[in-house]
Chain A
Amino acid sequence: MFLNSQKALLKSDGTRLDDRLPSHVRPAFLKTGAVSVAAGSAYAEFGSTKVIVSVYGPRESKKAQAFSDIGRLNCDVKFTSFATPLRGKAGQDVSDKEFSVLLHKALEDAVDLHSFPKTTVDVFALVLQSGGGDLPAIITCASLALADAGIVMHDIVAAISLSCVGKDLLLDPTYKEESQQDGSVFIALMTSRREITQVTFTGEWSSTKASEALELCCDACVKLGEVMRVCLKEDAAEATEDT
């Protein structure tokens, strides 16, 4: 049984079903400005996972929160009914609400709430297609959207997850790989400072394996951070203005 599931995810030459090496991430396609009416927005594709995030604000908070020294960050995640292979809520393991909370936790430390007192910044994430690594994709995309909106932040956050299947560590797992994982790691990282803002482990891990997994994830996040920076710079260059 154990061997069967391994064979199902790795081919005889050691590559995964999508031809990747276990330590390779899916190619990322990132673009800012996906929703022009929003203050900032971004669209991200990681393999078959597609996410779009809009940021609104800072704008006036509702009366109750208006008298506060720090700003408010409001995060909302939704899965479209066609996002999962099994249509509708039945296809989701984790609820929209849980994802919203996790997104908020990952971004909280990076956003400078003192820079927009008395007001609110809304982050609306929409998963168009769920193909594995949904939460990291949402966080990475949200980070881009916040930067696009000009929200003051301490650093750019990137996130990644990893599945442990038997002895193998599969970085940036697909939906299929995730569904058969024995354990998992998820981190959100501030990419310039190399500081972890969020981390979760599930399953059983020896310390050596855990540190190996962390190393893999952090390196992947740093590289993803570089891709995000290039994206932001390129999209800024499109705004052809005189200096």
Chain B
Amino acid sequence: MVVGLGLSSAEKSYIAGGIAVDLRGDGRGRHHFRDFSIDTSIIPQANGSARLRLGGTDVIASVKAELCAPPPGRPHHGKLEINVECSPTAAPEFEGRGGEELSMDLSRALQRSFLGGASGAGAAIDLASLVVLEGKLCWMLYFDGLVLSSDGNLLDALSIAMKAALSNCGLPKVEITSGTNPEDDADFELNEEEFTPVDTSRFPVIVTLTKVGKHYIVDATAEEESQMTAAVSVAVNKKGSICGLTKRGGTGLDPSVLLDMISVAKRVSQTLITSIDAEISAAESRHDDQ
């Protein structure tokens, strides 16, 4: 997922050499995440929104809620839709259809991590909590991700931004005025004064491990990503369960290596989730102060 980055073979061997001795170009160790900052409520028109800056990577996530009919065959569930756009403001190469492939890759990886199984089990949000009137009315949450600028690790950044946007999200209270009978259509009114937050405790965070040579690193920069032989993105939730896994890159991985990468991802995710929660509360209280 690298745009137009050409490095000399000398630079490449320097980067790989650094990773091998656990000293990357900016001084980080292999399992060290860059510092990041979160701002919430940046798109007031959305139900929830957040901006995440991770080094030179800058992404925005927004959550928009709409009422609709529940998915076919699952009257007790709400719906989620996830979409990512790469804006040309991030790189001229993204103009027109240039960013399409990357956008689709990112969207699919996020969908895989957040939508759960076909039955709806294991989704990032308890889909049953999104039901308003069983069989007739539920919430559809649209997650939109936007890449403003990229210095690597877009997937992890987007997952953090979306978690923050969801924490910032409030669903208006729905008052059913008629139609509680199974045959009738539901009529409702939205109470835009009362909002209920959404439970984010199940929302996973994605940790991508990028393999360079024999070693794998966490939170790769664009330069480091250009060196990757393979990358495994693991979505882990607060409980430590894996919610989704995606592999990129043509090189084959030995199963033991894959298992090791998963355990590293799990370990890193736990400290990461704690930092994210802290940053989100700080962002929300900053917003309340204003």
Residues of A in contact with B (beta carbons under 8 Å apart): 35-38, 41, 48, 50, 52-54, 56, 59, 76, 78, 80-83, 85, 87, 122, 124-126, 128-129, 131
Contact = CB atoms under 8 A, between A and B. Distances in A.
Contacts of A129: 43-45
A33 to B, nearest CB: 12
B89 A124 contact: yes
A38 B64 contact: no
Contact of A126 (B46, B49, B89, B92): B89
B44 A76 contact: no
B56 interface: yes
20 contacts: A35-B149, A37-B56, A37-B90, A37-B151, A52-B89, A54-B89, A76-B96, A80-B62, A80-B146, A82-B43, A82-B49, A82-B62, A83-B45, A87-B66, A87-B142, A87-B144, A126-B148, A128-B42, A128-B43, A129-B45
Interface in B42-56: 42-46, 49, 56
Interface residues of B, number: 28
Interface string B262-287: 00000000000000000000000000
Contacts of A35: 58, 89-90, 148-149
Interface in B31-71: 42-46, 49, 56, 58, 60, 62, 64, 66
B95 interface: yes
Contacts of B62: 80, 82
A59 B44 CA distance: 36
Contact of B144 (A36, A37, A48, A80): A80
B85 interface: yes
A82 B42 CA distance: 12
A65 to B, nearest CB: 14
Among A41, A82, A87, A122, the most chain B Cβ lie within 10 Å of the Cβ of: A82
Contacts of A128: 42-43, 60, 146
Contacts of A122: 88, 92, 95
A41 B89 contact: yes
Contacts of A131: 45
A59 B91 CA distance: 13
Contacts of B146: 80, 82, 126, 128
B87 interface: yes
A2 B60 CA distance: 41
B227 interface: no
B64 A124 contact: no
A171 B66 CA distance: 33
Given A35-B149, A37-B149, A81 B144 contact: yes
Contacts of B144: 80-82, 87
Contacts of B88: 54, 76, 78, 122, 124
A36 to B, nearest CB: 7
A76 B43 contact: no
B119 to A, nearest CB: 27
A226 B39 CA distance: 30
Chain A CB count within 10 A is highest, among B64, B89, B146, B151, for B89
